[in-house]
Amino acid sequence: MNGKNYIAGSWVEAVGGARFESRNPARFDQVLGAVALSNREDAEQAVAAAKTAFPYWRGLSRVKRGEYLDRFVEAIKAQTDEITRLVASEAGKAYNEAKADVVEGIHMAQYMFGHARLSSGQVVPSEIAEKDAYMFRKPKGVVAVISPWNFPFAIPIWLITPALLEGNTVVFKPSGNTPLVGEKIVECFERAELPPGVLNLVHGTGEDAGWPMVTHPDVEVVLFTGSYDVGSRIKEACVKDYRKMYACEMGGKNAMIICQDADLDLAVRAAILSAFKTTGQRCTSASRLLVHESRMEEFAAAFVAMARRIVIGDPLDPQVFMGPLISESAMKKVDFYNLLAKQEGAQVLLDGGRLEEGAHRQGYFFSPFIYRMAHRKDARVLHEEVFGPHVALIPFRTLEEAVTIHNDVEYGLACSVFTEDYRIARRLREECEFGVGYWNLPTIGAEVHLPFGGLKKSGTGVPASWPLLDLVTHKVAWTVGYSHEIKMAQGLSADV
Ligand code: UN1
Q: Which CATH number fits the domain that encloses residue 464?
A: 3.40.605.10
Higher pLDDT, 169 or 119: 169
Please say if the pLDDT value at position 68 is more than 90. yes
Let me know if residue 61 belongs to a domain: yes
For residue 432, indicate whether it is catalytic.
no
Let me know if residue 484 belongs to a domain: no
Work out the percent of the chain whose per-residue pLDDT is above 70: 100
Per the structure, the count of domains in the chain is 2
Let me know if residue 354 belongs to a domain: yes
Average pLDDT over residues 143-164: 98
Confidence of residue 382 (pLDDT cuts 50, 70, 90): very high
Let me know if residue 489 belongs to a domain: no
- C-beta 151 within 6 A of ligand 1: yes
Average pLDDT over residues 460-488: 97
| pLDDT attached to residue 457 | 97
Average pLDDT over residues 247-259: 97
For residue 249, indicate whether it is catalytic.
yes
Residue (of 354, 374, 373, 376) closest to 365 by Cα position? 354
> What is the residue range of 120's domain?
2-250+459-478
Q: What is the pLDDT of residues 25-60, one digit of tens each?
A: 999 899 999 999 999 999 999 999 999 999 999 999
Please say if the pLDDT value at position 466 is more than 90. yes
Q: How many CA atoms lie within 13 A of 321 on its CB side?
A: 17
Let me know if residue 452 belongs to a domain: no
For residues 339 and 282, membership in a common domain is answered with: yes
| pLDDT attached to residue 103 | 98
What 8-state DSSP symbol labels residue 305? H
For residues 277 and 228, membership in a common domain is answered with: no
For residues 243 and 371, membership in a common domain is answered with: no
Looking from the CA of residue 148, the nearest atom of ligand 1 is 3
Average pLDDT over residues 127-153: 97
- C-beta 444 within 6 A of ligand 1: yes
- C-beta 283 within 6 A of ligand 1: yes
Residue (of 392, 281, 370, 285) closest to 329 by Cα position? 281
Q: What is the pLDDT of residues 197-216, one digit of tens each?
A: 999 999 999 999 999 999 99
- CA 253 / ligand 1 centre spacing (Å): 13
Q: What is the CATH number of the domain that holds 332?
A: 3.40.309.10
For residues 80 and 112, membership in a common domain is answered with: yes
| pLDDT attached to residue 1 | 79
**pTM for the whole thing?**
0.97
Ordered DSSP codes for 320-348: -SB---S-HHHHHHHHHHHHHHHHTT-EE
For residues 413 and 467, membership in a common domain is answered with: no
- CA 452 / ligand 1 centre spacing (Å): 8
Identity of the residue numbered 140: K
For residues 189 and 119, membership in a common domain is answered with: yes
- C-beta 228 within 6 A of ligand 1: no
For residues 281 and 201, membership in a common domain is answered with: no
Alpha-carbon distance 162 to 150, whole Å? 20
Let me know if residue 483 belongs to a domain: no
- C-beta 100 within 6 A of ligand 1: no
- C-beta 284 within 6 A of ligand 1: yes
Residue closest via CA to ligand 1's atom 7 equals 445
Catalytically annotated residue among 283, 385, 415, 432: 283
- CA 11 / ligand 1 centre spacing (Å): 30
- CA 416 / ligand 1 centre spacing (Å): 14
- CA 297 / ligand 1 centre spacing (Å): 30
Average pLDDT over residues 263-267: 98
| pLDDT attached to residue 224 | 98
Average pLDDT over residues 434-453: 98
Angle between helices 62-77 and 95-115 (to 10 degrees): 160
